[in-house]
Amino acid sequence: MEHKNYNAINKSVRKKDAMQLLLGKPVYTKDIAPENALVVKLLRSPHANAIVNTIDTKVAKLVPGVVDIFTWEDVPDSRFTNAGQTYPEPSPYDRLIIDRHVRFAGDVVAIVAAENEKAAKKALSLIKVSYDVLEAVLDFRKAKDSNILVHPEDNWVAPIDVGGSNKRNLVASEQSEHGDVDGVLADCDIVIDRTYHTKAFNQAMMETFRTYTSYDRYGRLHVISSTQIVFHVRRILSHALGIPKNMIRVEKPRSGGGFGAKQTAVSEVYPAFVTMKTGRPAMIVFTREESQIAGSPRHEMEVRVKLGANKNGKIRVLDLYTLSNSGAYGEHGPTTVGLSGHKSIPMYTGSLEAHRFNYDVVYTNTMAAGAYRGYGATQGIFALESAVNELAENLNMDPTVIREMNMLKEGMVMPAYYNEIASACALDKCLAHCKEMFDWDKKYPVRDMGNGKVRCAGIGMAMQGSCISNLDVGSATVKLNDDGTYTLMIGAADMGTGCDTILAQMVAECMDCSVDDVTVFGADTDASPYDSGSYASSTTYITGKAVEKACTDLKKRMCSIAAGLMDCNEDEVIFDEGKLRRINTEQSVTITEVGNKSQLNNDIVPQASASHSSPVSPPPYMVGMVEIELDKLTGEVTVLDYMAVVDCGIPINPALARIQAEGGIVQGIGHTLFENITNDSKGRPIESSLMQYRLPTRLDMGNLKVEFEHSYEPTGPFGAKSIGEIVINTPAPALAHAIYRATGVWHRELPITPEQIALGK
Amino acid sequence: MDITLTLNGKKITDQIDPDLTLFDFLRSHNCYSVKCGCETSNCGLCTVFFDDTPVLSCSVLAARANGHKITTLEGLQDEAKEFVGFIADQGADQCGFCNPGFVMNTIALLRENPDPTDDEIRQYLSGNLCRCSGYEGQLRGIRSFLDSRKHK
């Protein structure tokens, strides 16, 4: 590990937008959209699987204020995907803007554009639709090769072959094996064979999906949207609307949270279509109900783990099969599933002799899933970590000891992770640190409190990646201003995480200036350099490296300009304590002088751009431990303490890294104990409001304590890896473990509610 | 119908529909700090002061404000500035969308109870949801503000 005295990184500086946000300034999409925008509302299907027989909008169009209403007859008939992924997307092209065949309760039947919300809502109630209701596939275990097809159409397209077929309800399918899995399983003293089930949890970011569109002064479509993926949105709209990409500009103002939900273009296409048809500005704001029932939640998964071990606790073989429910459309279906194995199995590289990972991803007539922080790893880690805890309890061994025996250590080659080398791995240190901080040896034993309540503890480990290797592109442009300050232009999207700030810290570190001297601009497809977007735990690691590269280039350019001022060669000029100095002399010029010179008789642009991709995706690591008090009569679980230690390489901003970890843990507690997604027998979603979809409050999370173990990732900027996603992964296995300790029952389905605990099932 | 009220210290009169919510009324009067997160009184984002009591403006009719004093974060910038920097120092602002409601309710808490315990803070603010921060950073921020006030 590298220890250095940094100027700007590894410092807890305030987020650049903090005071604007805390003082309630108008910085979000709806705050900046002009008042005259048409209100866009969507009529949604009440049926899970149906064909629109007739649709009559005549009466609805007579409502004063209604400008137009669009149905399946009005939209282009070429299919596209809403998934925010690099082209060609792994997700199938299975959507139309409005499809005559509606495939989940909530699918769009009509788009209403009106002068005001009242008129739009009135029109919704007056559209007359007759449906041919079809039998629906609601159980994802029965979807593959069902005789009911979610996508029977012939113009379904898979841009990449991921093993899917719409004629089999299959979005993707793959098998992979390393070593003699069946042979090792047969030779093991003990085989844990269990199946774990997680639901389609909602991100429930506080700002629902929303987009504003208008034509700009050049007649181009100008899109202002709360999105993580400005460049992907531009391409998706181009595909969906059939207009050239260069006629679309997408920008993101401040965003009220995403967590992956806004890595899918959930809301953009509807106002864009209205603006295209009417020529007028248009705005859509999803209600909370719409966000709940027609958003882009986590993929429901069922993960079967076969874990083979020796009596002494050595884990020799892992065999995972994941069945993933993509819902009615395939966004992120082929990719999320991979992480359930690729980002769980490698944690046990230390002892594994063989592993197998197979999966199927299926269509059903339920809400389409998408990207949610953790992106499949969360589901796989719940399953595998629970199985390891089951092994430990079965062998009557301490689960921390079993992990110490089997875990991945720095320098190991990871056959289950594309043979990457764990170049920076402090997982063992995280475990030792967490064990001590938490006082594991004291808290692990079950303690009957004598009042019907029991206290005990549970554990989970986690990994994730940092970027999609050989795929994600991050870019940065850094320019020198004439006052000696810098402007950083990025296409990555700060959705509240603070990436604008941590990237500015990197500029300040490279250019040896104050973070206050770096202005950040982004993200805007017209002006930002190309960036895949803020997802896949890539921004710090990938865009950060692009920042470093751009700064190196800019320094050279500044040295050239300074050389002109000092009448010497550029290789004689060095950066030295905020000045440009001619080596071996007292001669120097200030950054401001270089900035001023760049605007006077100059042919060296004081600006540099760089792009970066990585051949590897270095995992961050984490250990989480929870102490609960469980009421044996009511089944109520109270989280007393949640402690975690994270290895994200060198944290660029420790305060922001800590908040990421704390926020992720509380989301994890939420989907383990409170949040649930269920449908009625007709496939209609039940938890359609925050009254029914119970988010954790500040009374639900106990005391949080997060600390860090540093590793140094040689391929990352300043040794950094990622932090944003991994932090959601430990609560589910840790809590399920603690609940088992208290009750003797393993709960293998999330969420684990008091009712299930009290009923012991 | 016509209503007259005092909004952030200024007396205003307006003609409104009887079913207009206070939330929509405030947004239409440029109080953009007021945010909506749920429409069902579950998230706390739309918190404003009705006279001096915090209420959820999504669930109050604008007509009810007739003759009353309504205050939003736009009208409490100085009082907010006293402590929000401490939240910023923790990085607990995050996406910021819940911040105005959280800040309003924290002001209400501190007016009512200038020296709350951690449990009193958690209890009072329990109706203010935040999906980003995990709450602990907000608590640390309030705590360090209270500590700094004591050491003044």
Q: Which of B43, B94, B127 sits opposite A663 (nearest CB)?
A: B94
Peptide bond into A754 cis (omega under 30): no
Share of chain A above pLDDT 70, in %: 99
CA distance B80 to chain A (A): 7
Helix or strand holding residue A324 (H, E): strand A315-327
The pLDDT-based confidence of A3 (bands split at 50, 70, 90) is low
Smallest CA–CA distance, residue A45 to chain B, in Å, is 21
Q: Which residue has the tokens 């607990």?
A: B92
Asked if B94 and A697 come within 8 Å (Cβ–Cβ), the reply is: no
For chain B, domain boundaries: 2-74, 76-150
What number of CA atoms fall less than 13 Å from residue A567's CA on the CB side? 0
Whether A47 and A104 map to the same domain: the answer is: yes
The reply to whether A406 and A431 lie within a common domain is no
Cis bond upstream, residue A354 (ω within 30): no
Q: Could you tell me the end-to-end alpha-carbon distance of chain A, in angstroms, rounded to an integer?
A: 47
Helix, strand, coil abundance in chain B, percent, nearest 5:
45, 15, 40
Query: Rounded to the nearest 10 degrees, how much is the dihedral formed by the CA atoms of A26, A27, A29, A33?
Result: 50
Mean pLDDT score, B40-60: 97
Which tokens in the block code for residue A209?
């999906």
Residue A760, in any domain of the structure: yes
CB A203 within 8 A of CB A218: no
Which residues of chain A have a CB within 8 Å of the CB of B117?
Answer: none
Strands (E), B51-102: 53-56, 69-71
Partners of A666 on chain B (C-beta within 8 Å) are 134-135
Residue A286 and residue A355 in one domain: no
Chain B residue whose CA is closest to A669: B134
- Superfamily designation of domain B2-74: Beta-grasp domain (3.10.20.30)
Q: Which of B28, B95, B140, B143 best probes binding to A when mutated, by most A CB atoms within 10 angstroms?
A: B95
Q: Which of A656, A690, A699 sits opposite B38 (nearest CB)?
A: A690
SS3 A717: helix
With respect to residue A317, please indicate whether it lies within any of the assigned structural domains: yes
Q: How does pLDDT run across A369-381, given as a tens digit for each residue? A: 999 999 999 999 9
B22: closest CA among B81, B66, B87? B66
Instruction: Kindly state whether residue A403 falls inside one of the protein's structural domains.
Output: yes
Give Cα separations from A671 to A300, A362, B134 (angstroms): 12, 22, 13
Contacts of B76 in chain A (CB under 8 A): none
> Could you say which of A265, A293, A321 is where a domain stops?
A293
φ/ψ of residue A707, rounded to 5: -130, 175
Rounded to a whole number, what is the distance in Å from the CA of B102 to chain A's nearest CA?
A: 9
**Whole domain around residue A90: which residue ranges?**
33-136+203-293
Q: How far is CA A701 from CA A241, A637, B98, B121, in A?
A: 45, 11, 18, 14
β-sheet bridge partners, residue A576: A579
Q: What is the mean pLDDT of chain A?
A: 97
For chain A, the domain total comes to 4
Closest Cα of chain B to A759: distance in Å? Answer: 29
Contact criterion met (CB < 8 Å) for A14 and B88? yes
Average pLDDT over residues A104-117: 98
Q: Peptide bond preceding A88: is omega within 30 degrees of 0, i.e. cis?
A: yes
Q: Residue A177 belongs to a domain with what CATH number?
A: 3.30.365.10
Residue A129: which CATH number? 3.90.1170.50
Co-location of A444 and A474 in the same domain:
no
Determine, for residues A24 and B32 on separate chains, whether the beta-carbon distance falls below 8 Å: yes
CB < 8 Å to B126, chain A: 697-699
Select from 3.40.80.10, 1.10.150.120, 3.40.50.2300, 1.10.533.10 the CATH code of B76-150: 1.10.150.120
Out of A18, A31, A689, whose CB is closest to B93?
A: A18
Number of H helices, E strands in chain B: 5, 5
Judgement on whether residues A281 and A321 belong to the same structural domain of the protein = no
Are residues A145 and A129 located together in one domain of the fold?
Answer: no
A239 and A108 both lie in a single domain: yes
Percent of chain A with pLDDT over 90: 98
Which of A659, A665, A688, A703 is the best substitution to test chain B (most B C-beta atoms within 10 A)? Answer: A659
> Token pair for residue A124?
């919704």
pTM of the model: 0.98
- pLDDT, one tens digit per residue, over A322-350 is 999 999 999 999 999 999 999 999 999 99
What 8-state DSSP symbol labels residue B132? S
A130 and A144 in a single domain? The answer is no
- Where does A126-259 show beta strands of DSSP type E? 128-133, 170-178, 190-198, 210-215, 221-225, 248-251
For residue A707, CA distances in Å to A160, A680, A700, B141 come to: 41, 43, 21, 18
Q: What whole-number distance in Å separates Cα of residue B55 and Cα of residue B32? A: 17
Contact A288 B40 (CB under 8 A): yes
**Residue at A12 is within a domain:** no
CB contact (8 A) between residue B88 and residue A31: no
Q: Test B80 with A667 for CB contact under 8 angstroms.
A: no
In the sheet where A190-198 sits, what is the strand order? A170-178, A354-363, A315-327, A300-309, A190-198
Expressed in angstroms, the distance from the first to the final Cα of chain B is 50
Distance separating alpha carbons of residues A687 and A177, to the nearest angstrom: 39
Which residues lie across from A461 on neighbouring strands?
A623
Least CB-CB distance to B97: which of A207, A664, A666?
A207
pLDDT at A574: 94
| Interval A188-203: pLDDT, tens | 999 999 999 999 999 9
Confidence of residue A269 (pLDDT cuts 50, 70, 90): very high
Tokens of A217: 């002064």
CB contact under 8 A, A698 and B122: yes
Searching chain B, which residue's CA lies closest to the CA of residue A209?
A: B37
The amino acid present at B6, given as its one-letter code, is T
Q: How big is the A-B interface in CB pairs under 8 Å? A: 175
Would you say A645 and A430 are in contact if contact means Cβ atoms under 8 Å apart? yes
Contact assignment for B88 to A25 by CB distance below 8 Å: no
Query: pLDDT, tens digit, for every residue of A38-94?
Result: 999 999 999 999 999 999 999 999 999 999 999 999 999 999 999 999 999 999 999
Helix H, strand E, coil C: the string for A254-317 is ECCCCCCHHHECCCCHHHHHHHHHHCCCEEEECCHHHHHHCCCCCCEEEEEEEEEECCCCCEEE
User: Residue A479 is which amino acid?
Assistant: K
| Residues of chain B neighbouring A15 (CB-CB closer than 8 A) | 88, 91, 93
Contact check, Cβ <8 Å, A498/B91: yes
Contact A288 B39 (CB under 8 A): yes
Q: Which residues of A touch B125 (CB under 8 A)?
A: 698
Whether the per-residue pLDDT at A1 is higher than 60: the answer is no
Place of tokens 């692990």: A444
Q: What is the DSSP string of A364-424?
A: -SS------TTTTHHHHHHHHHHHHHHHHHHHT--HHHHHHHH---TT-EETTTTTEE-SS
Q: How many angstroms separate the CA atoms of A309 and A318, rounded?
A: 9
A206–B130: do the CB atoms touch at under 8 Å?
A: yes
- pLDDT grade, residue A761 (50/70/90)? low
Determine the Cα–Cα distance for residues A333 and A353; give it in Å rounded to an integer.
29
Set of chain B residues whose Cβ sits within 8 Å of the Cβ of A21: 93, 95-96, 99
Per-residue pLDDT band at A577 (split at 50, 70, 90): confident
The shortest C-alpha distance from A640 to chain B (Å) reads 13
> By CA distance, what is A291's nearest residue in B?
B38
The model's pLDDT over A180-190, given as tens digits with 9 standing for 90+, comes to 999 999 999 99
Contact B126 A698 (CB under 8 A): yes
Residues A157 and A73 in one domain: no
Distance (Å, whole) CA A91 – CA A82 = 9
Tell me if A49 sits within 8 A of A150, measured CB to CB: yes
Q: Which of A685, A668, A529 is nearest to A609 (CA)?
A: A529
Q: Which of residues 12-41 of A touch B (CB under 8 A)?
A: 12, 14-15, 17-28, 31
A701 and chain B in contact, CB less than 8 A: yes
CB nearest to A287's CB, from B39, B77, B137: B39
Residue A760, pLDDT above cutoff 90: no
State the sign of the Cα–Cα–Cα–Cα dihedral A20, A23, A29, A32. negative
- C-beta atoms of B91 and A653 within 8 A: yes
Cβ contact B135–A695 (<8 Å): no
**Same domain flag for A45 and A149:** no
pLDDT band at A436 (very low <50, low <70, confident <90, very high): very high
Give the residue from chain B lying closest to A255, CA to CA: B95
